[in-house]
Amino acid sequence: MRMLKAWVAAGVAAAATGALVVSGGAPTHPVHQPSARFLTQARSALVQYLRHNHAQLMPARPPHRRGPDSITLGASYNWSGYTDESTKDGTFTKVGGTWTTPAVTCTAEDTLSAEWVGLDGATNATVEQAGTYGWCFEGVPIYFTWYEMYPNGTIEVGKSLQPGDVITASVTRSSSSYTLKLTDATDTANSFTKKKTCSTKTCLDTSAEWICERPSFAIGMAPLADYGTWTLTNGTETASGKSGTIGSYSSVHELEMVDATDSYVLSTPTALAGNNSFSTTWDNSY
């Protein structure tokens, strides 16, 4: 089911980005340098759409064990990647990971993908997270860095993010204080460190996540942008005071993203490599 209408013709979208065209030949690879006005419009649209975002995990079917290891396989309507989960409040105090910003391939339809690391959301009602967006707005790819203390809204920060930028992000908790940090090693203008608070009775820290997501809008979940492949490395977490990796924890959940009918997969994760790395691959938008 299509969530959003197409907005503009591809030619108009190319003009908005200043895509380069060689006379008499095929277009060159577009240089994604939208005007300040267009970027402001794209950000405003995204903020409006995400006012109704449902950031928590939306399971599609009961998980099951893959084998004798600690990894459980599951499916979600909005998440693809890995979660470590606990039944004890306050278990997780840090999560981190590194990735290269993937390029999204746009059509005239508005689509969106989000890559992030965070705490909570898999088993409770809050999410504390930091990451990147690939946003196809009016056929033009736009990229942002962002953070969120859900159910508070998403805050877009870096406006000059580009595919290929190397990102390292982490969320750290100390009692009721949170540090959300993202570093863009390619363009430091997109980096940030934010200090936030949340009561330990509200933010329970019972899960850690490394996720590719399709956020939700007022009318449903956004079509997942064609991001190709997203690879996360150095996936780390601190649980019960002990530093570890994604796969070192006792309860690890691998999630594939599925369509609304759970008939086919939208985003597929690979098995863990070295207990701390994996990739997800775009399969479909909705």
AA letter at 265: V
Q: Which residue in this structure is represented by tokens 């940030």?
A: 192
Mean pLDDT of the residues in the chain: 88
The pLDDT value given to residue 196: 98
Within a domain: residue 3?
A: no
Domain count, the chain: 1
182-190 long-range contacts, CB within 8 A, separation 24+: 182/130, 182/131, 182/145, 182/147, 182/157, 182/158, 184/145, 184/158, 186/162, 187/158, 187/160, 187/161, 187/162, 189/158, 189/159, 189/160, 190/145, 190/157, 190/158, 190/159, 190/160, 190/161, 190/165
Q: Compute the radius of gyration of the chain from its Cα atoms.
A: 18
In angstroms, the CA 95 to CA 173 distance is 9
Is the pLDDT confidence value at 18 over 60? no
Within a domain: residue 5?
A: no
Higher pLDDT, 84 or 31: 84
The pLDDT value given to residue 212: 98
Domain that holds residue 167: 10-282
Is the pLDDT confidence value at 85 over 60? yes
The pLDDT value given to residue 156: 93
Is the pLDDT confidence value at 225 over 50? yes
The pLDDT value given to residue 51: 87
Within a domain: residue 122?
A: yes
pTM: 0.88
AA letter at 199: S
Within a domain: residue 99?
A: yes
Within a domain: residue 2?
A: no
Q: What's the CATH code of the domain at 73?
A: 2.60.120.700
Is the pLDDT confidence value at 26 over 70? no
Is the pLDDT confidence value at 274 over 80? yes
**Percent of the chain topping pLDDT 90:** 78
Within a domain: residue 1?
A: no
Helix (H, G, I), strand (E, B) or coil at 280: strand
Confidence of residue 62 (pLDDT cuts 50, 70, 90): confident
Let me know: does 79 contact 230? Beta carbons within 8 Å.
no
The b-or-e profile of 220-234 (16+ CB within 10 A means b, else e) is bbbbbbbbeebbbee
Is the pLDDT confidence value at 54 over 90? no
In angstroms, the CA 286 to CA 279 distance is 20
